[in-house]
Chain A
Amino acid sequence: MIDFSIILAGFGGQGVLSAGKMAAESALIEGKEVSWFPSYGPEMRGGTANCSVVISDEPIGSPVINEPDVLIALNQPSLEKFEDTLKPGGIIIIDSSLVKVAPKRTDIRFIPINSSEIASELGSMAYATIVLLGCVSAATGAFTRESFEKALYDVLPERRHHMIPNNLNAFDKGAEFAKK
Chain B
Amino acid sequence: MAKRVLMKGNEVIAEAAIRAGCRHYFGYPITPQTEVMHYMAREMVKHGGTFVQAESEVAAINMVYGAAATGERVLTSSSSPGISLKQEGISYIAGAELPAVVVNIMRGGPGLGGILPSQGDYFQATKGGGHGDYRNLVIAPASVQELYELTVKSFDLADKYRMVCMILGDGTIGQMMEPVAFKEKEDTEEVAKPWATTGMHGREKHNTITSIYIDPDDLEAKNRELQEKYREIEEKEVMFESSNLDDAEIVIAAYGTCSRICKNVIRQAAELGIKVGMVRPITLWPFPSKEFARVADMPSVKGFLDVELSSGQMIEDVRLAVNGKKPVYFHGRMGGNLPTQKEILDEIVKIHKGEI
Contact = CB atoms under 8 A, between A and B. Distances in A.
Given A25-B6, A40-B115, A40-B171, A62 B261 contact: yes
Chain A at the B interface: SS class: mixed
A66 interface: yes
Interface residues of A, number: 19
Contacts of A37: 172, 175-177
Given A25-B6, A28-B4, A61 B175 contact: no
Contact of A41 (B177, B336, B340, B342): B336
A35 B171 contact: no
B183 interface: no
B242 interface: no
Contacts of A11: none
A34 B261 contact: no
A40 B32 CA distance: 8
A88 interface: no
B341 A66 contact: yes
B116 interface: yes
A34 B31 CA distance: 24
Contacts of B115: 40-42
B9 to A, nearest CB: 10
Given A28-B6, A64-B172, 15 more contacts: A24-B177, A28-B4, A28-B179, A34-B6, A35-B176, A36-B177, A37-B176, A40-B31, A40-B32, A40-B175, A41-B116, A42-B114, A61-B262, A62-B341, A66-B341
29 contacts: A21-B177, A24-B6, A28-B4, A28-B6, A33-B179, A34-B178, A34-B179, A35-B176, A35-B177, A36-B178, A37-B175, A37-B176, A40-B31, A40-B116, A40-B171, A41-B115, A41-B116, A41-B336, A42-B114, A60-B178, A61-B260, A61-B261, A61-B264, A61-B267, A62-B264, A63-B176, A63-B178, A64-B257, A66-B342
Interface of B: 4, 6, 31-32, 114-116, 171-172, 175-179, 257, 260-264, 267, 336, 338, 340-342
